Structure 1
Amino acid sequence: MKLYEYAEQYEALKQMAEDESIPPEALADTLESIDDEFETKVDSIACIIKDELATAEAIKKEIEALTARMKRHEVTADQLKSYTMQQMQAVGKIKIETARNVVSIAKNAPALEIENADDFIAWATLDHEEFIRQKAPEINKVAVRDALKAGEELPGAKLVAGYRLAVR
């Protein structure tokens, strides 16, 4: 039987309890039977939840380990690229072609460099606003939450407590 079906049976028993022609002992026995089955079902689901969480944690740790490995390989590759480029420049080679690889020194696209951001923003604000972006204001949710917890009333803001299932 599915978990929701037990809830339906509980509701049916509540309605039956209002009918005085059914002996209370029969209702109690039925309720106890349903209650035991319901708790057994919830216990089984809790075991599945724990197993899923353990699997997720193991995957998370594996992702972290693989990410660390990936980063080490990327750093090594970057170091080897830099070393190779320095050595090719030192001997005056721009391109080396072999049966397996073509290694060449290529010019990068020009990168933007702004010497003093504050001075540039001040200049752009005066008459060149196309060179700057204004960010929309953001709500400081931590400050709002703390103010509400302290008893302040803020328009359009409230603390809402929800529920969660705890499985230990």
Structure 2
Amino acid sequence: MNVFEYNRAVEIVKAKAEQGKISDEALVDTLESIEVQRNEKLDNVASWIEENQMDADYYSKKAKEYEAEAKKYKNKNKYLMEFLTAAIDDSGQKEIRTENHILRPRNYKDAVVVEDTRKLPIDYIMTSEVVKPNKKLLYEDLKKGKSITGAHLKANRKTVIK
């Protein structure tokens, strides 16, 4: 019998008691029997929900820990890539072949670096709930050679590893 059937059984017993079709002693015994079974089921479901919540909390915490570890490795790779690209550029070669890799630096789209949003001309500010620079417009104008206080282009070179 599921919880909904228990609830329905309680309603039937109550209706019979109101109609006088069941004795007071039988009513108490029947209701106590049904209530205990229903409460046990509800208690078990509540315990199951608590266990699931503990598991969800555990996995959420682990996900945050894994995300932090992944971020560490990504940051480390960023600096290693800068080192690798600078070393190849310093060699004057366009490509270096090692035993395990072919290393070729290449240019990517320059990155817009905003030193101070407050120093940018208003034309380069996007307004919404949060004030933030319009990097697309900044990029276009900086690429054209326009000098903009508070922003500049930064070369974005990386090495392709094959």
TM range (shorter): 0.5 to 0.7
| Structure 1 position 33, deviation (Å) | 0.5
SS in 2 for 1:44: helix
Q: How far apart are 1:61 and its partner, in Å?
A: 2.2
Following the alignment from structure 1 to structure 2, what is the Cα–Cα distance between the partners of residues 73 and 115? Answer: 26
Instruction: State the distance in 2 between where 1:14 and 1:110 align.
Output: 77
Kindly indicate whether residue 31 of structure 2 is the aligned counterpart of residue 39 of structure 1. no
TM-score normalised per structure 1:
0.62
Counterpart CA distance in 2 for 1:97 and 1:74 is 24
Q: Structure 1: how far apart are the matches of 2:113 and 2:79?
A: 24
The answer for the alignment partner of 1:68 in structure 2 is 68
Counterpart of 2:155 in structure 1 is none
Q: Give the residue type in structure 2 aligned to 1:30.
A: T
- Per the TM alignment, residue 36 of structure 1 is displaced from its structure 2 partner at its CA by 0.8
Residue 114 of structure 1: how far off its partner (Å): 7.8
How far apart, in 2, do the equivalents of 1:115 and 1:43 lie?
A: 58
Q: Following TM superposition, by how much is the alpha carbon of 1:41 offset from its aligned partner in structure 2, in angstroms?
A: 0.9
Query: Which one-letter code corresponds to 1:42 in the other structure?
Result: L
- How well do the aligned residues superpose, as a CA RMSD in angstroms? 2.6
Q: Percent identity?
A: 26
* Residue correspondence of structure 1 range 116-127 to structure 2 within 5 A: 120-121=121-122
Shift in Å at residue 47 of structure 1?
Answer: 1.8
The Cα offsets for residues 53-92 of structure 1, whole Å up to 9 and x where unpaired, read as 1211221222122112211211111111011112222222
Alignment of 1:5-154 (within 5 A): 5-98=5-98, 100-111=100-111, 120-121=121-122
Q: Cα distance 1:59–1:113, how it changes in 2: closer, same or farther (>3 A)?
A: closer
- Who is 2:2 aligned against? 2
TM-score, scaled to structure 2: 0.64
Unaligned runs of 5+ in 2: 130-162
4+ residue stretches of structure 1 with deviation over 6 A? 113-119, 131-134
Unaligned 5+ runs, structure 1: 125-130, 137-168
The residue aligned with 1:157 is: none
Q: Which residue of 2 aligns with 1:154?
A: none
SS in 1 for 2:103: strand
Residues 114/36 of structure 1: CA separation in 2 closer, same or farther (3 Å cut): closer
d(CA) in 1 for partners of 2:85, 2:78: 11
Residues paired across the two proteins, number: 128
Alpha-carbon displacement from aligned partner over 1:115-166 (angstroms, at most 9, x marks no partner) = 9978754xx6xxxxxx987759xxxxxxxxxxxxxxxxxxxxxxxxxxxxxx
Task: Measure the CA separation in 1 of the matches of 2:3 and 2:94.
Answer: 71
Structure showing the higher strand proportion among its residues? 2
Higher relative contact order (CA 8 A, sep 6+): 2
Tell me how far apart the structure 1 counterparts of residues 76 and 10 of structure 2 sit (CA, whole Å). 64
